[in-house]
């Protein structure tokens, strides 16, 4: 049986509902002193919560039964989904709670609190155990799963619509992957509009869950060690895997060194402050020798600790 992909009609309806919420982020060229890289950037760092997450999370919260939503909303997050959830919860006048790893960057925890959210910091293993055991089903909060929630994926698809509207002849879209919610929505939109558009998933070498799952033909769990906390998900769920099998054309792995180099490059040359996960797509597109242009790299988020950013910017070896 074929996976139940978000439909173009559903994604377009979600996009209309998000018009007063999200920023229609621009398409800008990746700066290149040699005279043009051929790579275009879609900087979702300019969204209200500095990441693309507002698209799917707001649509998911807006789609909840009002009575269920009135008790409050919750999620599991390394930081960006939590921020989007708190922003949406404030819009609807309800509380927000998120299980977050103890290792989450302080900038993300602080931002979640600033939006009015209540962080619950737990060890990483406990966080993924909570997800795998569906422990949220026993709590009174309306839970928004960060990857498998259908409405969340549909909302993220609005990003794919914008890419095609802004770059009608786009040939390749480079998309960072953690749990698969973003690429599931964006990829569904792209393939529905033009199946010839190449959808490239990008993961850090230190957390290749989708790469290994596709290689083995089934969802697998991998060890995960990377500075790209926004995509540090060690497994692909059974629900999402068949969908990604259908829409992902290739998976590219990026080294930690290339992530750091790209963060530095974007800051100094494009004047963009990005987190590790957001640098993945640009690093992969820049290194590709068989790239089909126009290429669009999704720059997904800008929440990076200042100490980490300062260390990267002052590292002349990069």
Average pLDDT for the chain: 94
Residues 6 or more apart whose CB falls under 8 angstroms from that of 196 comprise 171
Class of domain 54-143: alpha beta
Considering only residues 33 and 86, tell me which one the structure prediction assigns the higher pLDDT.
Answer: 86
What is the structure's pLDDT at 233?
94
Residues 211-229 have pLDDT tens digits of 999 999 999 999 999 999 9
Res 289 pLDDT > 90: no
Taking alpha carbons only, the member of 157, 244, 152 closest to residue 203 is: 244
Domain boundaries, given as residue ranges, for the chain: 8-52+150-313, 54-143
CA gap 255, 247 in Å, rounded: 24
Rounded to 5°, angle at Cα 75 from 71 and 77: 155
CA atoms of 273 and 264, how far apart (whole Å): 9
Q: 39-57 pLDDT, tens per residue?
A: 999 999 999 999 999 999 9
User: What pLDDT, in 10s, does the model give residues 113-149?
Assistant: 999 999 999 998 898 888 888 888 888 899 999 999 9
Please count the other Cβ atoms lying within 10 Å of the Cβ belonging to residue 106. 11
* Same fold: 8-52+150-313 with 54-143: yes
Distance CA 47, CA 25 (A): 7
| Percent over 90 (pLDDT), the chain | 86
**264 — pLDDT class (breaks 50, 70, 90):** very high
pLDDT at 2 over 60: no
The span from the CA of 76 to the CA of 131, in Å, is 8
For the stretch 144-191, pLDDT in tens is 999 999 999 999 999 999 999 999 999 999 999 999 999 999 999 999
In this structure, are residues 157 and 14 in contact, taking their beta carbons and an 8 Å threshold?
yes
pLDDT band at 97 (very low <50, low <70, confident <90, very high): very high
Q: How confident is the model at residue 34 (pLDDT cuts 50, 70, 90)?
A: confident
Separation CA 182–CA 161 (nearest Å):
13
Residue 27 reports pLDDT greater than 50:
yes
Q: Average pLDDT for residues 70-98, to the nearest whole number?
A: 95
What pLDDT score does 110 carry? Answer: 93
CATH number of the domain located at residue range(s) 8-52+150-313 in this protein: 3.40.50.1100
Which 3 state secondary structure label does DSSP give 115?
Answer: coil
Q: Confidence band (pLDDT; 50, 70, 90) for 316?
A: confident
For position 1, what pLDDT does the model report?
A: 42
Spatial distance between the Cα atoms of 100 and 76, rounded to a whole number of angstroms: 6
pLDDT at 176: 98
Tell me the H-state helices in 143-255: 150-166, 181-193, 209-216, 241-247
- Mean of the pLDDT values across residues 81-89? 96
């Amino acid at each position: 049986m074929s996976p139940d992909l978000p439909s173009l009609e559903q994604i377009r309806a979600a996009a209309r509902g998000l018009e007063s919420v999200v920023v229609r982020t621009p398409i800008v060229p990746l700066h290149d002193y040699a005279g043009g890289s051929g790579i275009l950037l879609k900087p979702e760092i300019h969204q209200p919560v500095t990441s693309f997450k507002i698209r799917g999370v707001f649509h998911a919260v807006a789609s909840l039964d009002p009575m269920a939503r009135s008790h409050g909303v919750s999620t599991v997050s390394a930081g960006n989904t939590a921020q989007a959830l708190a922003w949406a919860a404030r819009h609807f006048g309800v509380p927000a709670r998120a299980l977050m790893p103890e290792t989450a960057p302080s900038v993300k925890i602080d931002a979640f609190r600033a939006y009015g959210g209540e962080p619950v910091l737990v060890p990483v293993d406990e966080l993924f155990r909570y997800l795998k055991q569906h422990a949220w089903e026993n709590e009174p909060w309306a839970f928004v799963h960060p990857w498998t929630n259908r409405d969340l994926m549909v909302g993220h698809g609005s990003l794919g619509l914008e890419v095609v509207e802004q770059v009608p002849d786009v040939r390749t879209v480079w998309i960072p992957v953690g749990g698969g919610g973003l690429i599931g929505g964006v990829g569904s939109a792209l393939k529905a509009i033009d199946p010839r558009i190449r959808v490239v998933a990008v993961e850090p070498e230190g957390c290749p869950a989708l790469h290994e799952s596709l290689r083995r033909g089934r969802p697998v769990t991998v060890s995960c060690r990377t500075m790209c906390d926004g995509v540090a998900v060690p497994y692909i769920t059974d629900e999402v895997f068949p969908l990604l099998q259908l829409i992902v054309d290739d998976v590219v792995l990026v080294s930690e060194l290339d992530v750091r180099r790209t963060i530095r490059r974007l800051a100094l040359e494009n004047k963009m402050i990005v987190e590790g996960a957001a640098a993945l797509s640009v690093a992969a597109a820049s290194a590709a020798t068989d790239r089909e242009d126009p290429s669009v790299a999704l720059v997904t988020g800008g929440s990076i600790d200042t100490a980490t950013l300062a260390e990267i910017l002052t590292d002349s070896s990069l």
